[in-house]
A and B are shown apart, each in its own frame.
Chain A
């Protein structure tokens, strides 16, 4: 299964944008790029996913590099409620398994 690489932690000020990078240099043509987040003491929560084109939803934006070997999750205005571990995961479109890495711990300071 393809793997992803993320920074261990990132810090942001409240109401500023947060850009979370993810490298996935061994991505295959059928892999979708998924992002989930996990708030303290809760289960993971789906954030966004994409294949080739940039994607936007009410929670975040996903920017995908042209060669698909990296992507960036963008939280436009961080709030204290966005403090969580963010996971970048490749999901094969055929089988659908999710394999989690260590993720990025996002700290938001007021």
Chain B
């Protein structure tokens, strides 16, 4: 049971480049979310999904796209990277209802 797997663990992008952060879970969780965490700060919600084909925006969605074609995968796309998107990105998943979320180990992204 791998839990929540994020790839890559580290990435350096140039301003204007695009890329996709991958997130996969093997627990058949309905809910999945993406967060970013800037140095010394708490986590901020970017996008979330309550099931395949259903996504919605969180607090800081600008510059990011998501889609959820399967229960297992929830990729996060950066359309045109900017230095302000330098951050650590966490993916999380949960069963529907009140239970706890499982978090991935994060992707550390630097945009130069």
Contacts and interface: CB of A to CB of B under 8 A. Distances in A.
Interface of A: 32, 34, 36, 42-46, 49, 51, 85, 87, 91, 93, 95-103
A46 B100 contact: yes
Interface residues of B, number: 26
Contacts of B50: 95-96
A98 B11 CA distance: 26
Interface of B: 31, 33, 35, 41-45, 48, 50, 58-59, 90, 92, 94, 96-106
A43 B31 contact: no
A98 B59 CA distance: 11
Contacts of B42: 85, 87, 100-103
B45 A44 contact: no
B45 A98 contact: yes
Contacts of B45: 97-100
Contacts of A34: 100
A51 to B, nearest CB: 7
21 contacts: A34-B100, A42-B106, A43-B103, A43-B104, A43-B105, A43-B106, A44-B90, A44-B101, A49-B98, A96-B31, A96-B94, A96-B98, A97-B58, A98-B33, A98-B101, A99-B45, A99-B59, A100-B35, A100-B43, A101-B42, A103-B42
